[in-house]
Amino acid sequence: MALDSNPVFSVRIEKTDLKKFSHVALLALLSVAVIWALIEMVVHFRELMILFVLSALLTYLLDPVVTFLETKGLGRTLATLLIFLILGIFVAWGVYILLPKLTGQVNAIGKNLQNGSMKGVFSNWDTFLREKLAFLGSPETVQNIIDKIRTALVQFQEGLFKLALSLFSALSDLAIIPFITFFLIKDGPAMKKALIKAVPNRYFEMSLNLIHKTDRQLGHYIRGQMIDAFLVGVLSIIALYILDINYYFFIGSIAGLANMIPYFGPIVGAVPAIVVSLTQNSSLTPVIWIAVAFTIIQLIDNVLISPIVVARSVEIHPLLVVVVILIGGQLMGILGMLIAVPAASILIVIVKEIIFGFKNYRILG
Amino acid sequence: MHPIWSNIFKEAKNQSEDLYQILSNVPIFTGLSRRELKEFIRICHKRTYQQGEVVFWKGEPGVGMYIVQKGKVAVFAGEDPQNPEIVFATLSEGDFLGELALLDDTPRSASVVALEPSKLIGIFRPDLFSLFERKPGLGVKMLSKLAQLVGERLKFTNDALEECRQKGNT
């Protein structure tokens, strides 16, 4: 007799299936609720989320240093305090040395926009473009193109100035970041433990694995990306200084930061330098040199820096990378674009671990 | 101090004292100072299980070890914890299980179920390795104790195997 022809057995199968189905449905519902809550939080508490994201980035960067000091016999609190003291001295020194340079360059952009010194540049450009675009024939068409380029250049410089100003005005908000970071480093392990405590026994071991792997993956990615951005930033500053481009320090720093955005980053980094060079000189030669310098920096980054420092990160399909960067940009602007790939890599690790959990743990009863 | 706060702190202190007592009696933690044990207490996860609740199933990836703080658990083979095919051991307060999972993630060799409402302390490999990274000296002490324990068990298994062989020959 077939097993399912036995009424008692078939009822048992149906009950088990129903139980499993209800578990899956509950998990799916919970996942949707968590994702929805996260998106709502990003939308409604954007500024707060940005502060927490930046604090988390700093925590991942500093945690290995605290761990190193712990191996030397220091307690976690004392090690964290020491790191903050050293960091405070470095920041104060950096502000003292670098801030005047940075503010000087930002002010210069502002003055250029206000006193109309750009006009001289534009008149040179007018002549240059009129000669080069003469093949178009109609003077109206040439004038139209020149006007459009002029508007785009002014808008770009204004955008650069506004970005710099917004960065300075954000400094007051940023003052809270060290406080959040301090407690994330000092009490991070205890927070993780408290989170795990709330997990039901059935998902306990799987959740431990999940948190551990996500944490490790994210740590590798963030530390790698930050070291990479720093090195690319330094190389860009040196290259722009050698090429005698105005605001080299500010533009080089942007190039370093932008490098954290895959595919779009290097272009975003090079465009400000090219635009500033175009407004600075009427010749195309510096533009070519900038392109060569940024290409060489990208080569050094792709061949030498990235393989060493950005190791063990999740492999994501290039198309998915582009899509998540665009979504990140829509939700949180530039910062969204910066955190899109690590956020996607966390989601991939979570999905992989949940699938691993379904296969290896009896979480469905 | 207000009685409410003093009671809360007293409870936390008592819990920590309980954990200290239990850990200091587990063979892999014997000989460790109070300060060293405190490091392990920090990474302990306290879990509560209902009667009949499965702690882990045979074949699941091992993530760490458990120490029975209160209650009773059974190590068993079979699919139904209510009607196990074989019960290998019954463990109570102070006993520990799954310690080999501290070394690697090989699948659990048997299932474990709570025979009565029980409290278990879990210590897990990632937390432990992170502790060893921070306190390598502590890692050496604990791992040498674990190696000693595994060695003793191997010796015991070899003796039992030899006894079986001899019985088979006669």
CATH code, B78: 2.60.120.10
Rounded Cα distance, B43 and B122, in Å: 9
Q: Could you tell me if B142 and B28 are in contact, meaning their C-beta atoms sit under 8 angstroms apart?
A: yes
CA-based nearest residue in chain B for residue A75: B134
Which residues, 6+ apart, have CB-to-CB distance to B28 below 8 Å? B96, B99, B142, B145, B146, B149
Determine how many CB atoms are found less than 10 A away from the CB of residue B40: 22
CA-based nearest residue in chain A for residue B111: A362
CA-based nearest residue in chain A for residue B59: A360
* Residue-by-residue pLDDT tens, chain B, 170 positions: 555 555 555 555 666 777 888 888 888 888 888 888 888 888 889 999 999 899 999 888 888 899 999 999 999 988 888 888 888 889 998 888 888 888 887 888 889 999 999 999 999 988 888 888 888 888 898 888 888 888 888 898 899 899 998 888 77
Rounded Cα distance, B168 and A283, in Å: 96
Nearest C-alpha neighbor of A220 from the set A341, A310, A307, A347: A310
> What is the predicted pLDDT for the residue at B117?
94
Which of A69, A205, A212, A215 would best serve as a mutation to test chain B binding (most B beta carbons within 10 A)?
A: A205
Smallest CA–CA distance, residue A64 to chain B, in Å, is 10
Q: A102: which 2 tokens?
A: 């940075």
Q: Which residues of A touch B (CB under 8 A)?
A: 67, 70-71, 189-190, 193, 196-197, 201, 204-205, 208-209, 212, 360-362
Nearest C-alpha neighbor of A278 from the set A160, A162, A150: A150
> What is the predicted pLDDT for the residue at A312?
52
Rounded Cα distance, B96 and B40, in Å: 15
> What is the predicted pLDDT for the residue at A202?
84
Q: Could you tell me if A283 and A293 are in contact, meaning their C-beta atoms sit under 8 angstroms apart?
A: no
Domain that holds residue B133: 3-169
What type of residue is A267? Answer: I
Which residues, 6+ apart, have CB-to-CB distance to A208 below 8 Å? A196, B45, B63, B64, B124, B126
Torsion of CA A7, A13, A17, A20, to 10 degrees: 140
Q: Please list the residues that pair with B112 across neighbouring strands.
A: B56, B75
| C-beta atoms of B134 and A67 within 8 A | yes
pLDDT in tens, A93-126: 877 877 777 667 666 666 665 555 555 555 566 6
Out of A70, A197, A208, the one facing B134 most closely (by C-beta) is A70
Which of B44, B57, B63, B129 would best serve as a mutation to test chain A binding (most A beta carbons within 10 A)?
A: B63
User: Contacts of residue B46 in chain A, CB cutoff 8 Å?
Assistant: 197
Q: Could you tell me if A343 and A215 are in contact, meaning their C-beta atoms sit under 8 angstroms apart?
A: no
> What is the predicted pLDDT for the residue at A198?
87
pLDDT in tens, A19-44: 666 766 777 787 778 778 877 777 77
Domain count, chain B: 1
Q: Please list the residues that pair with A231 across neighbouring strands.
A: none
Percentage above 90 pLDDT, chain A = 4
| Contact with chain A for residue B104, Cβ under 8 A | no
Contacts 24+ apart (CB under 8 A), A162-167: A164/A102, A164/A106, A164/A109, A164/A250, A165/A106
Out of B53, B63, B133, the one facing A67 most closely (by C-beta) is B133
Q: Could you tell me if A210 and A203 are in contact, meaning their C-beta atoms sit under 8 angstroms apart?
A: no
Helix (H, G, I), strand (E, B) or coil at A320: helix
A-B C-beta contacts closer than 8 Å: 49
Burial of A297 per CB tally in 10 Å (0-12, 13-18, 19+)? buried
CA-based nearest residue in chain B for residue A216: B126
Helix (H, G, I), strand (E, B) or coil at A133: coil
Q: Could you tell me if B55 and B66 are in contact, meaning their C-beta atoms sit under 8 angstroms apart?
A: yes
Q: Could you tell me if B36 and B138 are in contact, meaning their C-beta atoms sit under 8 angstroms apart?
A: yes
User: Contacts of residue A190 in chain B, CB cutoff 8 Å?
Assistant: 42
User: Contacts of residue A219 in chain B, CB cutoff 8 Å?
Assistant: none
Out of B47, B59, B127, the one facing A204 most closely (by C-beta) is B47
| C-beta atoms of B53 and A205 within 8 A | no
